[in-house]
Amino acid sequence: MDVKVDAVSTWESLFRAQVSVMRTLAAEFPDADISFNEYDVLFTLSQQPARSLRLRDLNRHVLLTQPSVSRLVDRLASRGYVEKLPDATDRRGTDIRLTESGFEIFRRVAVSHMASITKRVGCALSDEELAQLAQLCEKLRASGE
């Protein structure tokens, strides 16, 4: 029973820390041109080979519901930050590709956003603690796949 209680209290602590950090980062988000969630999509695409993902795979990487991601992608496409293309291997699917314009705005915003993350997270933890936290988070994420 102690293990489950420890797991629950640990989860509560992790969840509350995550919410606190996310609220701070959202409040300090540095750009009026794109939202925090739009940045998340641009960041996710920037990390992919050819800066492209199927829409259904993009949905798995971001913290929004599928209809919200679709609407957000439509907004980004209307501003020229992403392109929606038919999947070359399965015409039923849609690929979302980061454009040069989208990559440029992502990079500009990322510099300020990284400074905010460093201030909020990097200054609160030592280098060793940061490495340990990253390792633990990866372990938790992998256990859910």
pLDDT tens-place string over residues 47-98? 998 999 999 899 888 877 777 898 999 999 999 999 999 877 877 789 999 9
Give me the residue spans of the domains in the chain. 2-143
CATH architecture of 2-143: Orthogonal Bundle (1.10)
- The model's pTM is 0.82
**The 3-state secondary structure of the chain, one letter per residue:** CHHHHHHHHHHHHHHHHHHHHHHHHHHCCCCCCCCHHHHHHHHHHHCCHHHEEEHHHHHHHCCCCHHHHHHHHHHHHHCCCEEEEECCCCCCCEEEEECHHHHHHHHHHHHHHHHHHHHHHHCCCCHHHHHHHHHHHHHHHHHCC
127 has a pLDDT exceeding 60: yes
